[in-house]
Structure 1
Amino acid sequence: MAASLNFPRLKQLTLRGVIMSEDALHSMLSGCPVLESLFLNGIVGVGCLRISSPTIRSIGFRVRFNRYIVQNPTLLQELVIENAPSLQRLLHYDREFAPSLQRLLHYDGEIGLVTIRVMQAPILEILGILSPSISKLVLGTTVFQGMCAISLTTSMHTVKVLVLQSLGLNLDLVVDFLKCFPCVEKLYITSFTLKKSMKNAMSYNRLDPIACLELHLKKVVINNYCGRWPDDVGFAKFFVLNAKVLREMIFITSDNCDDKWMANQHIRLQLNNKASSGALFTFERRCLVPTFSLKADPFEWSGPREWHRMR
């Protein structure tokens, strides 16, 4: 019946836990000629979704599905943005995999490994969460394989908000993304610590400047910041010392943030040598949880917070 449905005035559509075929979903979407917002939460039966819409502004999806409801479900494996001239937000919400490191390194069938291909999205502004659950990200001729840059031949100058999730704070990985998105203004990073050091001692080459750090990056949020090991301190310090127009850097931590800890962070991060004279540094105890909303930045925190701020 889905194939015969038409919603000529529908602007927002959410499908949650729906079982349907690819043909049925594509037919249903073609019957929504003015659709602006689409959120797919754990749909089954659709392995590949292709989007070609002149009106769609926001796409959100979550692959994870309760395997006890449907045995051996066909989950979304590929999302292709063929032509979306109005698309501003592409939001990926599979974040539950992160606490289990083994499930990241050894795919067990419960977590969808998704390929995302963006062919035409000329005004895309918000992109994330990009994580190891995305096996391949193709942006024009630029390719990221498992979060690692294979080719960096296309720059997307429209993206202003970028959200990344990785195993450990890997500076090389993040810098590659910043080169691909040179006009990012807000950068959200969630890391899940590995025992192995990520060797975040990269020095900034002034002869090969990163446009984002020089001209655009105004806000950085690091979720799961520890501040006790050289790798995460070195990662954060790179932005402190090199982001020239930074206005705010937020460290979300589980530590107590007492006076002694804060003083130690001030020294280790070299805040006296910050590249942006007006930058504020905030240490908070909370959890970064994105919501699928239509506000300007869906990753902006609006709930209660316990925070300490330094200049």
Structure 2
Amino acid sequence: MAGGMPRAEYLLAYICGNVPAPPVSPDARLAAHSAAAAGGDPDGADRISGLSDALLRDIVSRLPFKEAARTSVLASRWRRVWLAAPLAVVDSDLVDDCPPEPADEADVTAAVSGALAAHPGPFRCAHLTSTRMGEHQPLLKRWLRILAAKGVQELVHVNRPCARQVVVPLPDTLFQITTLTSLYIGVWRLPHATRLKGVSFPRLRELGICSVLVEDGDIDSLVMRCPVLEILNIQGSTKRLHLVSQTLRCVQISSSVVENIALVKTPCLERLILWQVKGSPFPASDMRTRIKIGIAPKLRVLGYLDPAHHLLEIGGTRITVLLLPPIFHFVHLATVDFNVIILVECGELQAGMEPTGSAILTTVKVLSLEVCLGANGAMMVPAFLKCFPNVEALHIKSAKCDEPAGKFNIEYWQKVGPIISVLMRIKVMTISEFRGEQHELAFLQFVYQNAQVLESAVVTAANRRFTGISDEQMTSILQQLDSSRWASDFGLAIMGSNGPEGGIPWMFQRGANFSNDDPFAPVKMRSELLFFMTSSCLCRFYS
């Protein structure tokens, strides 16, 4: 159970919230009101029928399937318009209960079959998420053949999960739909790469794989068969990922157990976004996901890097921190496999130690880290920052510390001199899931004292339901920051949150929206601003 919802239904809701929304609204209606009824000219003219056929087809294509079909009975002209309009088939809109219950499955399958047969195509979109397809495999193959013949462009196909889930293989018929520009699949088993020989999606630009059982190399092989693919989204799938693509611009992986993620050759990649990606499903395991960045000269947005669960390797150099006893003084070590570029003696970073040129990515402008600022993983923050010296927006998701180390105070951060030059370039800095701990305050004070071009900062407090800290208490805690020592006159906004514990789940739409330069910018979950602070100590309180 998840929040009172059966696990299978929770999984379905999570997947459906992560796939692209249908291009039609179930509430859309077509109504031709006379000008007189609308309070305009009294001639009562039918303005809609005066539009061109091309414009009418565009209007009809934006209606739910049932509403679009109703226009065909208005007149012979409307029937021609309906038959020529590229329609969307959304199974949840075809029955009265929305969203459909499992008991509605027979009605849903009958409605989908009827809709696919009634229209000659093309179909601009098909959303099929309401049926447990393991019980309807012959019907599924027929649907896919029809969609292939009628040129569907966007397909979301989720095998509705159930309590006793049987992994259903995705029919080979799907891979015959060469007209697809967007494809999202959920709760299937992907055919082995050997069965996809000769398969190609020549127009596919967006691919989503959600809770799909795959073998090593299957996704890699599928990506290579998509010559214009720009967006790859993966949720709950894969073990190892080795990407070679000339066209990929955005890769997002969420809620997944992945041993290795390798950007082998991705010359157009702009965004790599990871959310709750771990190397092992077992919390006690120390296995971490190895992230290898090879050829990615356009990488601009990167996160959430998590020192507790990720090992970062750039250009063949592993970024790591070694804790050495005092008998060992600061040295630069190397092995035959990788370079160790950051060393720590008793928890203190050596000033002046620089990563090698191959371990620096100057293109990254937006960086997000998920880190417990009171545990040893915080030592990786300087290491990561030195590898991305041109970061302009830094976002920290503060992970909960069960046993804070106690040494990460302002004096500790003042000793990590090598990152001050990086902080001097940061214009935007946010921290989310803030709990008011002293190690969080120390890190913020250090950043604010050294970020000379900082323009705006946001602190989003964790939901008070989980921290037990009231808004008034949080305000008092944050006023401990010594704004008189800040390096620039920026505005600090203190926000509240009513999101779930651990933060808002990542949604693929955020990262794939290229019109938004910074997908990690805070998402408001509660409207009130607790207070606003500047270096001149002016505070404005809001209720």
The two structures have a TM-score, normalised by structure 2, of 0.48
**Which whole-Å CA distance do the structure 1 matches of 2:258 and 2:382 have between them?**
29
Distance 2:217 2:477 in 1: 58
Shift of 1:195: 3.3
Structure (1 or 2) with the greater helix fraction: 2
Of 508, 526, 533, the residue aligned with 1:310 is 533
Distance 2:369 2:416 in 1: 25
Aligned identity (percent) is 26
Match of 1:94 in 2: 276
> Where do residues 209-288 of structure 1 align in structure 2 (5 Å cutoff)?
210-214=420-424, 216-227=425-436, 229-253=437-461, 254=464, 255-258=469-472, 262=475, 265-266=478-479, 268-277=480-489, 279-286=490-497, 287=499, 288=503
TM-score when normalising by structure 1: 0.81
Matches within 5 A, 1:283-302: 283-286=494-497, 287=499, 288-289=503-504, 290-293=506-509, 294-295=512-513, 296=516, 297-302=518-523
CA contact 1:291–1:298 (8 Å) conserved in 2: no
Structure 1 Cα separation of the partners of residues 318 and 373 of structure 2 = 21
What does residue range 70-109 of structure 1 map to in structure 2 within 5 Å? 76-94=258-276, 104=283, 106-107=284-285
In structure 2, the CA distance between the partners of 1:147 and 1:86, relative to structure 1 (3 Å rule), is farther
1:38 to 232, 254, 278: 232
* CA displacement, residues 23-66 of structure 1 (integer Å, 9 cap, x when unaligned): 433332221000000011112xx4322111110000011353xx
Amino acid at match of 1:274: W
Question: 2:210 corresponds to which residue?
Answer: 16
Structure 2 unaligned residues grouped into runs of 5+:
1-171, 173-190, 324-338, 342-354, 535-543
The aligned length equals 286
Cα 1:169/1:126, change in 2 over 3 Å: farther
Query: Larger Rg: 1 or 2?
Result: 2
- Kindly provide the CA deviation profile for residues 135-171 of structure 1, in whole angstroms up to 9, marking residues without a partner as x: 4210114323489994232211111111111233465
1:155 aligns with 2:349: no
1:180 and 2:401 are equivalent in the alignment: no
- How many angstroms apart in 2 are the aligned matches of 1:30 and 1:118? 18
| In 2: Cα distance, 1:86 partner to 1:269 partner | 41
- Provide the rounded CA distance (Å) in 1 between the counterparts of 2:491 and 2:314: 33
8 A Cα contact 1:185 1:219, kept in partner: yes
- Secondary structure of 1:165's counterpart equals strand
Over the aligned positions, Cα root-mean-square deviation in angstroms equals 3.0
Summarize the Cα distance change of 1:281–1:47 in structure 2 as closer, same or farther, 3 Å threshold. same
Matches of 2:212 and 2:416, distance apart in 1:
52
Q: Please give the alpha-carbon distance, in whole angstroms, between the structure 1 residues aligned to 2:474 and 2:450.
A: 24
Q: Distance in 2 between the 1:207 and 1:220 partners? A: 19
- The alpha-carbon deviation at position 291 of structure 1 amounts to 2.6
> Could you tell me whether the CA contact under 8 Å between 2:319 and 2:383 is conserved in 1?
no
SS in structure 2 at match of 1:79: strand
Counterparts of 1:210 and 1:121, CA distance in 2: 26
CA gap 1:232/1:83 in 2 versus in 1, 3 angstroms: same
Q: Which has the higher strand share?
A: 1
**AA matched with 2:263:** I
CA–CA separation in structure 1 for the residues paired with 2:418 and 2:205 = 45
Amino acid across the alignment from 1:291: M
Distance 1:107 1:310 in 2: 42
Give the deviation of 1:220 after TM superposition: 1.4
Kindly report which structure 2 residues correspond to 1:180-199, keeping only aligned pairs within 5 A, or say none: 180-190=387-397, 191-193=399-401, 194-199=403-408
**Change in 2 beyond 3 A, CA 1:299/1:264:** closer
User: Is 2:380 the counterpart of 1:167?
Assistant: no
- The verdict on how the C-alpha distance between 1:53 and 1:95 changes in structure 2, with shifts beyond 3 A counting, is closer
In structure 1, how many angstroms separate the alpha carbons of the residues matched to 2:419 and 2:295? 28
Match of 1:119 in 2: 294
What residue is the counterpart of 1:68 in the other structure?
Answer: none
Classify 1:20/1:167 alpha carbon distance in 2 versus 1 (closer, same or farther; 3 Å).
Answer: same
Residue 217 of structure 2 contacts residue 241 of structure 2 at CA under 8 Å; is this kept in 1? Answer: no
**How many Å separate the matches in 1 of 2:407 and 2:394?**
19
Of 51, 54, 61, the residue aligned with 2:246 is: 54
